[in-house]
Amino acid sequence: MKALRKFLDKKKPLFQKGGKLAKLQSSFEAFEAFLYVPNITSHGGTHIKDAIDLKRTMSVVVLALIPALMFGIYNTGYQHFLSLGQLANTEFLDICIYGLIEILPIIVVSYVVGLGIEFAVAQMRGHQVNEGFLVSGMLIPLIMPVGAPLWMVAVSTAFAVIIGKEVFGGTGMNIWNPALIARAFFFFAYPSKMSGDVVWIADKADSFSGATPLAHAASLVDATKPAADIIYNTHLSNTWDMFVGLIPGSIGETSTIAILIGAVILIASGIGSWKIMASVFVGGYTMGAIFNLVGGNAYMELIPAWQHLIMGGFAFGAVFMATDPVSAAQTARGKIIYGFLIGFLAVLIRVMNAGFPEAMMLAILLMNTFAPLIDHYVIQGNIKKRLKRVKVNA
Amino acid sequence: MSEVKKIKKGLDIKLIGKAEKVLEKADRSETFAIKPTDFPGLTPKLKVKVDTEVKAGSALFFDKYHPEVNFTSPVSGKIVAVNRGERRKILEVIIQADNELQYEEFKKANPTNLSRDEVKEELLKAGLWAFLRQRPYDVIANPADTPKAIHISAFDSAPLAADFDYLVEGEAKAFQMGLDALAKLTDGNVHLNIDAKKTQSKIFTEAKNVVINKFAGVHPAGNVGVQIHKLDPINKGDVVWVIRPQEILFIGRLFQKGIYDVSCKIALTGSEVKNPAYYNTILGASVRNMLKAQLKDDDKIRVISGNVLTGTQISEDGFLGFYDSQITVIPEGDEYEFLGWALPGLKKFSMSKTFFSWLTPNREYRLDANLHGEHRAFVMTGEYDKVLPMDVLPLQLIKSIMVEDIDQMEQLGIYEVAPEDLALCEFVCTSKINVQDLVRQGIDLMIKEMS
């Protein structure tokens, strides 16, 4: 490793001010910092520092996403062969290889496009390359349908990085979760590729229904169809499949188990906010329970409240999207209110508006927008307490 | 006795190199220095020149805006240098010590028989006033104020901190006399805040003329700012004074013996010290003789006057800081680490559990001054809250300081914090933000705007 270090030290002047390649300084430094934790020491302030940095933080989040990714790969193959009716005579390995071939290009496109823009922007501004996209680049493929055309993924990613993040000043400055911006852009720009029953299964047989449980549930609203049949004939009656994740859906969002493993990693390492995760689930359950009590149509009456938590992107959004520290509420109390409202609104929109069966994305983006407002009131609470103290003493 | 106040939020950082409670001998220091940079916000005016002969207790410089506040020489001897930095800012006034110390003579008296003004005058004249610091702002107390209370933390919870029980050992009389003098300065109480478990010394537990409060828990439980916050938080307009036990001894000795005697014990600590132990020395002493035989010399090192969280970096022949009872020596760590962010990290310390060192919770660490990353914008939230046991929103306060919003700073509690109280926030910060510097900037701005 010493040789590599020497090589870097030798080439460094080329990229520094006055060097031939000075324009590429940000890129060089990004690679250097990737290979070596820099030799910067503290001056003034605390002489020792916690070993954690943004790279470590982001890699832990990516690690937490791996179970969902692995399951997504398997499930892509599983759904494909299931639709063809060949599941029984296909090896486990072949299922995984098929899934990998389908998904890998989406991941590559997401990272290449996103990191490309990040590097270019850092270069233009003379900034360091921030680590934020390491996570966004993995989140974006996981919330795409497997049938998403690659160029659409590329355009959505570019939109998310530029409009969702860089125009605000880069990592740490954005208002909305960049990965969700990518999905929202995709959803509204190319609706036919993000809804219906074709896009969720790779190369499915035409005769096979590829609708997601969410879509089935949404169809319960239509009183002309017998509700019991819909539930009985679809995944809605097989909640174990829904929990494990053997259902059509976006690549990484189907398996609640895999997502919960990720949640455990995030909470145990202290990186993800358990307050947000827990309150999202509580919020979703509360709204579901209210629907169960009040009733109105088959969707409200027959889908138990807890089932909302394992359907669609709810769990994935709660664990990986709502918890993005930059776009979430920042105060401890604010996090609980923010999380609760996300869960609450997600189920509300999902049930009340058949046009948006996947409401989690919208609920999170909406609450991202309101997070500063929630924080504002929490902060005012702290200020009032302080003022009150003065009055009591005076 | 009173109830124990428990401090739960915070972090004990276990480091290698805790000083053993034995008094080691080192050659006497030849040079001493008083550093105006130890006093935030001070504009010093020199009273001496190079070659001036001084006695212990002779004024070296004074505060331009409070000319009655003197800073005096810890020893007798000759001024050998006045080192200046940028824009002729005075950095150090260096004194070459005599072999036999000569003392300025001050009045011997029992402080209980003196009036408030007489006590004040004695302290100001002898240069002991500088040990009294005020909250808000964490600067030297204004002699014109009468504080609401005086707070003394009788223990230090910082990493490798000196044991205050040991520092005051055998000086019960001077300590009590010092407390009696302090009691004259306030209409309120003198609070002596002890560690419910660790404080054993009767000098503290049986002190008279004070209110004894008990604290327990993790660092920063020993920070006087945290203790004040738990007992009686500072509101706008309040002034509270603070002082440390060893400095109370100096005050006691002034009234007992009529001299400015700032000899003290200090702890030499840290992973790069061969035998961490205590030393007898005098405030402002050069640390060279003490370090001479004690440094492990395999790595580049950093010498800190004070602790690793709030101390000041000094050179190997630098001088002990005015408010410090501890010298810490750690590795510099200005090296590159290959893929350091990706390794399991069994020897790395982190509050988070992202490194596998959490498997060994009782391990003592050898930490260096490396940042372990680069400066970034704020990304993580909730980290600061875990290590600040105050009803203050640290992240929001720091942000209000960054945008210089005076009203918001005031509303969010700038009066209640000192940089040292947020030192742990700086330690745990993923984005490596210089929190203490920012707090000091915010305080400076407040002082400027409010005066």
Look at the alpha carbons of B363, B369, B371, B372 in this order and tell me if their dihedral is positive or negative: negative
| pLDDT of A193 over the 70 cut | yes
User: Are the beta carbons of B304 and A1 separated by less than 8 Å?
Assistant: no
Is B379's Cβ below 8 Å from some Cβ in A? yes
Is B2's Cβ below 8 Å from some Cβ in A? no
Q: Are residues B142 and B236 in the same domain?
A: yes
Final residue before a domain boundary, out of B241, B259, B277:
B259
Minimum Cα–Cα distance from A129: chain B residue = B376
How many whole angstroms separate alpha carbon A346 and alpha carbon A362?
Answer: 7
Range(s) of the domain holding residue B328: 264-346
B367: which chain A residues are within 8 Å (Cβ-Cβ)? 48
User: Are the beta carbons of B337 and A44 separated by less than 8 Å?
Assistant: no
Q: How far is A78 from chain B (nearest CA, A)?
A: 33
Number of domains in chain B: 3
Compare CB distances from B348 to A51, A269, A270 and report the shortest one's residue.
A51
A383: which chain B residues are within 8 Å (Cβ-Cβ)? 411-412
Q: Following DSSP, what letter does each residue of B152-217 receive, concatenated? A: EE----STT---HHHHTTT-HHHHHHHHHHHHTT-SSPEEEEEETTT---HHHHT-SSSEEEEEEE
Minimum Cα–Cα distance from A1: chain B residue = B338
Q: Are residues B249 and B271 in the same domain?
A: no
How many whole angstroms separate alpha carbon B289 and alpha carbon B273?
Answer: 13
Query: How remote is the C-alpha of A186 from its chain's centroid?
Result: 14
User: Are the beta carbons of A328 and B369 separated by less than 8 Å?
Assistant: no
The tokens describing A388, both together, are 């009150």
Residue contacts between A and B (CB atoms, under 8 Å): 209
How many whole angstroms separate alpha carbon B320 and alpha carbon B279?
Answer: 12
The pLDDT of residue B20 is 92
| Contact between residue A244 and residue A255 where contact means Cβ atoms under 8 Å apart | yes
The tokens describing A200, both together, are 């969720």
H/E segment holding residue B149 = strand B149-153
Beta partners for residue B83, in sequence order: B92
H/E segment holding residue A276 = helix A274-294
How many whole angstroms separate alpha carbon B372 and alpha carbon B364?
Answer: 18
Final residue before a domain boundary, out of B323, B346, B369:
B346
Is B92's Cβ below 8 Å from some Cβ in A? no
| Contact between residue B252 and residue B178 where contact means Cβ atoms under 8 Å apart | yes
How many whole angstroms separate alpha carbon A147 and alpha carbon B24?
Answer: 75
What count of Cα atoms within 13 Å lies in the side-chain half-sphere of residue B103?
A: 14
| Contact between residue B243 and residue B128 where contact means Cβ atoms under 8 Å apart | no
CATH number of the domain enclosing B130? 3.40.50.11540
| pLDDT of A233 over the 80 cut | no
The tokens describing B38, both together, are 């130890």
Per-residue burial over A115-133, b if 16 or more Cβ lie within 10 Å, else e, is: bebbbebbbeeebbbbbbb
| pLDDT of A130 over the 70 cut | yes
Per-residue burial over B204-239, b if 16 or more Cβ lie within 10 Å, else e, is: beebeebebbbbebbbbbbbbbbbbbbbbbbbeebb
> Could you tell me if residue B151 is inside a domain?
yes
User: Are the beta carbons of B372 and A37 separated by less than 8 Å?
Assistant: yes
ipTM: 0.88
Nearest to B310 by CA among B197, B239, B431, B222: B222
> Could you tell me if residue B300 is inside a domain?
yes
Compare CB distances from A52 to B233, B310, B350 and report the shortest one's residue.
B350
Question: Average model confidence (pLDDT) for chain A?
Answer: 87
Look at the alpha carbons of B17, B23, B25, B28 in this order and tell me if their dihedral is positive or negative: positive
pLDDT digits (tens, 9 = 90+) for A334-345: 999 999 999 999
> Could you tell me if residue B371 is inside a domain?
no
> Could you tell me if residue B430 is inside a domain?
yes
The residues, any chain, with a CB within 8 Å of residue B356's CB and separated by 6 or more, are B344, B345, B346
pLDDT greater at residue B13 or residue A216: B13
pLDDT greater at residue A32 or residue A141: A141
| Contact between residue A130 and residue A54 where contact means Cβ atoms under 8 Å apart | yes
> Edge-to-edge, what's the strand order for the sheet holding B90-97?
B31-34, B90-97, B77-84, B53-54
A48: which chain B residues are within 8 Å (Cβ-Cβ)? 13, 15, 159, 308-309, 330, 349, 367-369, 427
**Count of Cβ atoms closer than 10 Å to residue B402 Cβ:** 13
The pLDDT of residue A142 is 94
> Could you tell me if residue B32 is inside a domain?
no
Nearest to B210 by CA among B416, B421, B7, B1: B1
The pLDDT of residue B2 is 63
The pLDDT of residue A1 is 65
> Edge-to-edge, what's the strand order for the sheet holding B59-63?
B44-46, B59-63, B70-72
B348: which chain A residues are within 8 Å (Cβ-Cβ)? 51
Q: How far is A305 from chain B (nearest CA, A)?
A: 31
The pLDDT of residue B440 is 94
| Contact between residue A246 and residue A78 where contact means Cβ atoms under 8 Å apart | yes
How many whole angstroms separate alpha carbon B66 and alpha carbon B84?
Answer: 22
Is B336's Cβ below 8 Å from some Cβ in A? yes
| pLDDT of A204 over the 80 cut | no
Q: How far is A64 from chain B (nearest CA, A)?
A: 12
How many whole angstroms separate alpha carbon A357 and alpha carbon A236?
Answer: 14
A122: which chain B residues are within 8 Å (Cβ-Cβ)? none
Is B373's Cβ below 8 Å from some Cβ in A? yes
Is B393's Cβ below 8 Å from some Cβ in A? yes
Q: How far is B424 from chain A (nearest CA, A)?
A: 8
Coil, helix or strand at residue B31:
strand
The residues, any chain, with a CB within 8 Å of residue A274's CB and separated by 6 or more, are A267
Q: Looking at residues A10-15, what average pLDDT do you find?
A: 76
How many whole angstroms separate alpha carbon B249 and alpha carbon B223?
Answer: 19
The pLDDT of residue A197 is 74
Enter the DSSP assignment of B28: P
User: Are the beta carbons of A49 and B378 separated by less than 8 Å?
Assistant: no
How many whole angstroms separate alpha carbon B9 and alpha carbon A389?
Answer: 22
In single-letter form, the type of residue at position B237 comes to G
The residues, any chain, with a CB within 8 Å of residue A188's CB and separated by 6 or more, are none
CATH number of the domain enclosing B283? 3.10.20
pLDDT digits (tens, 9 = 90+) for B305-316: 999 999 999 999
B310: which chain A residues are within 8 Å (Cβ-Cβ)? 46
Is B40's Cβ below 8 Å from some Cβ in A? no
> Could you tell me if residue B120 is inside a domain?
yes
Residue with tokens 């233009």: A124
**Count of Cβ atoms closer than 10 Å to residue B84 Cβ:** 11
Q: How far is A121 from chain B (nearest CA, A)?
A: 16
How many whole angstroms separate alpha carbon B199 and alpha carbon B193?
Answer: 10
Q: Are residues B314 and B225 in the same domain?
A: no
Instruction: Please report the beta strands in chain A, taking only residues with DSSP state E, as ranges in sequence order.
Output: 36-37
User: Are the beta carbons of B376 and A48 separated by less than 8 Å?
Assistant: no
User: Are the beta carbons of B427 and A33 separated by less than 8 Å?
Assistant: no
The pLDDT of residue B211 is 94
Final residue before a domain boundary, out of B217, B235, B259:
B259
> Could you tell me if residue B423 is inside a domain?
yes
A277: which chain B residues are within 8 Å (Cβ-Cβ)? none
Q: Are residues B202 and B225 in the same domain?
A: yes
How many whole angstroms separate alpha carbon A90 and alpha carbon A76?
Answer: 13
Compare CB distances from B374 to A128, A171, A331 and report the shortest one's residue.
A128
Per-residue burial over A346-376, b if 16 or more Cβ lie within 10 Å, else e, is: bbbbbbeeeebbbbbbbbbbbbbeebeebbe
pLDDT digits (tens, 9 = 90+) for A294-317: 887 878 888 888 988 998 889 999
| Contact between residue B429 and residue B435 where contact means Cβ atoms under 8 Å apart | yes
Q: Are residues B230 and B290 in the same domain?
A: no
B351: which chain A residues are within 8 Å (Cβ-Cβ)? 50, 52, 270
The pLDDT of residue B348 is 86
Per 3-state DSSP, chain A is made up of helix, strand and coil in percentages (nearest 5) of: 70, 0, 30
Is B17's Cβ below 8 Å from some Cβ in A? no
User: Are the beta carbons of A56 and B310 separated by less than 8 Å?
Assistant: no
Selected for mutation to probe chain B from A49, A333, A368, A385 (highest B CB count within 10 Å) is A49
How many whole angstroms separate alpha carbon B31 and alpha carbon B74?
Answer: 11
Selected for mutation to probe chain A from B372, B433, B438, B441 (highest A CB count within 10 Å) is B372
| pLDDT of A44 over the 80 cut | no
The domains of chain A are located at 9-36+55-204, 213-247+273-394
Q: CA–CA distance from B36 to each of A185, A244, B46, B284 (Å)?
A: 59, 67, 10, 11
Q: Looking at residues A219-248, what average pLDDT do you find?
A: 79
User: Are the beta carbons of A171 and B373 separated by less than 8 Å?
Assistant: no
Enumerate residue ranges in chain B where pLDDT < 50: none
> Residues 210..249 of B with a Cβ closer than 8 Å to A: which?
233, 235-237
A44: which chain B residues are within 8 Å (Cβ-Cβ)? 313, 434, 436-437
A389: which chain B residues are within 8 Å (Cβ-Cβ)? 233, 235
Enter the DSSP assignment of A235: G
How many whole angstroms separate alpha carbon B201 and alpha carbon B193?
Answer: 13
Compare CB distances from A52 to B304, B354, B435 and report the shortest one's residue.
B354
Count Cβ atoms within 10 A of the Cβ of residue B450 and give its class: 0-12 exposed, 13-18 middle, 19 or more buried: exposed
The tokens describing B219, both together, are 């660092």
Asked if the peptide bond before residue B136 counts as cis, ω within 30 degrees of 0, the response is yes
User: Are the beta carbons of B370 and A379 separated by less than 8 Å?
Assistant: no
The residues, any chain, with a CB within 8 Å of residue B306's CB and separated by 6 or more, are B312, B321, B323, B324, B326, B328
Compare CB distances from A47 to B308, B385, B411 and report the shortest one's residue.
B308
How many whole angstroms separate alpha carbon A168 and alpha carbon A315?
Answer: 28
A53: which chain B residues are within 8 Å (Cβ-Cβ)? 341, 371-374, 376, 430, 432
How many whole angstroms separate alpha carbon B347 and alpha carbon B342?
Answer: 13
Q: Are residues B335 and B429 in the same domain?
A: no
B431: which chain A residues are within 8 Å (Cβ-Cβ)? 54, 172
User: Are the beta carbons of A59 and B374 separated by less than 8 Å?
Assistant: no
**Count of Cβ atoms closer than 10 Å to residue A155 Cβ:** 17
A43: which chain B residues are within 8 Å (Cβ-Cβ)? 313
Q: Are residues B182 and B249 in the same domain?
A: yes
> Could you tell me if residue B12 is inside a domain?
no
